[in-house]
Structure 1
Amino acid sequence: MINATLNATGPFRWFLYDSLKDDKPLDRMVTELMLMKGSAPEGGSAGFAQAAQNDSPFAAKGHVVASAFLGVEMQCARCHDSPYHSTTQENLYSLAAMFARKSVTVPKSSTVPAGFFESKERESLIENKSDTREKLAALITAPQNTRFAQVIANRVWRRLIGAGIVELPHDWEGNPPSHPELLEWLGKELVAHNYDVKHLAKVIMTSELYQQEAIGENLHAEPAQRLFNAPERRRMTAEQIVDSFFTATGQKMDVEEMTLDPDGRRPARSRNTFGTPHRSWMFVSLSNERDRPSLTLPRAEMVIEVLSAFG
């Protein structure tokens, strides 16, 4: 068991994995993520609440959500108004207040009609219409918020093609899309198919662009020069390399359960289990533990060292 006080969130990783594997619509997954329900030791999106233990955890969550799903970089606003972005510290902490369920008014400039919160299709997720956290989740994932769908579409495109239509994917301010019509179409395609990321990936992977030889030079090009005549050449990830080793040799991963509580004496509230890995993504770094994990989990530590060597 990994000590929960050290930012370990094992069951939360499985919430993300199962959501993607089960083709959960991405708007629903993000809504559940932001509601942070369930139990951090036992499962559910509650692990997101545990994943940012610092002096201002809800501001950290606001930063994560803004950059991941809206393409708005707010890191500087943790401490002061950003000198390079239009976002202010007040913006970030207003977002944090909605997460924290304090008294916050949804901005009048919102592009989402107030009537959206009465939508029947959201009743299963939005239970308390006066809850600011639930309103924030609905506000971000609403179909009317085209920014959310386009940010996700840009991230999927970047993962498959090697360069985004908007670079950087987490910071859209001052970075115009190279192909705005394409980005708009991809966003609408995602919404029209119930936020099915696998459908969007299939659309991109069956395109003539994706089928070309990987000789593209788009990643570091200016938007006007980002022609997307071919995908970028990309190295395999560390996880892909290690999994390929096991597949090529026909061997199974033979490692210990990812636990530093071998006798099971820690109370459930102070531990998380990561289970026994059989794929590389299931491993976690043991470098933040205090009791020589390489001696406790020698076989697991060997795989982790190889993963670290390949980045």
Structure 2
Amino acid sequence: MLYTLCVMLFTKQVNIDLSFLFLFNRFVRFFKTLQQATPMQTNSREMSTINTKKGLKRKSECSDMKASSTPSDDFKCHSSTSKYFVNKHSNDNIRLGRNFFTKPCVALAKELLGKKLVRVLDSGERLSGRIVETEAYCGEEDTACHSYKGKKTGRNKAMFMESGTSYVYMIYGMYHCLNISSEGEGTAVLIRALEPLEGLSEMHTHRQRRRKETSKPLKPHQLCNGPGKLADALCITKTLDQVDLVISTSMWIERDQVNEDTEGDVMREDTDAAVQNMEEGGLADIKKVKIISCPRIGIDSTEETWRLKPLRFYLCGNKCVSVKNKEAETATQL
């Protein structure tokens, strides 16, 4: 409009200063540029509003999902708690802590009797068994101990770590053994036998891998009646070496309905009845059971003094014990 007026004035030969026309022309160009820019700015504001609305909607949907979702949902809003620090199988009220393990190996070997060893597989299935047999290995003075004379290697490193650390090693190139470090340099307790409590079907499957298809099915008390057998049954391998049993989510020790009195007796379920009732799905009565002390097994090459020391401990009358010492049982009952 203004541009047309300018042309008319010029064609009518109106006397206008040339400098004024130049400035006027610049003003017209600026005005046109302003008109072209205004729709773009409007669109930007509209897009900003749309994006804001979308963002609010997305935030609202996320909030709704938090309120209604379950752990199995495919979509989850971000959480500050990682699944790797949550363990639904563990009960802090019955799980044994550092103080329990921080004691001399002989005392720990006795006190572990009747406690529950828990193993959680990668699949999430929980296996467990009551500890019924242990052996104490007393460090650098013990000629049967892997740390005899202070020997420290990559293999036995766990024996020198904090009390309550697992020490898993292989024997005969095929079987694993589980030990737990105790108070003192290079000392540990070997877990020799368990009474199966949870996951017996899975234990059967694991044990059957080394057996012939024609072999007779194992009875419950045969699943974990030896260090190599219990390691097979609970899938305990070198991957669980040097694991802190106080904080691990794969393996730990729990209290059971077991109490030890001043005479060394153990209040626990009657083993024979427990094994029978495991098959029937029932529960057994509680009664007192003596702790048997006798020489360790499988250390024939060790010098006599340490070979004959009564450093193996088991619950008398327990059907899941690997080898019973009749002489020691008779002496205990006198």
TM-score under structure 2 normalisation? 0.22
Q: Higher Cα Rg: structure 1 or 2?
A: 2
Higher helix share: 1
Higher strand share: 2
* Higher relative contact order structure (alpha carbons within 8 Å, sequence separation ≥ 6): 1
TM-score under structure 1 normalisation? 0.23
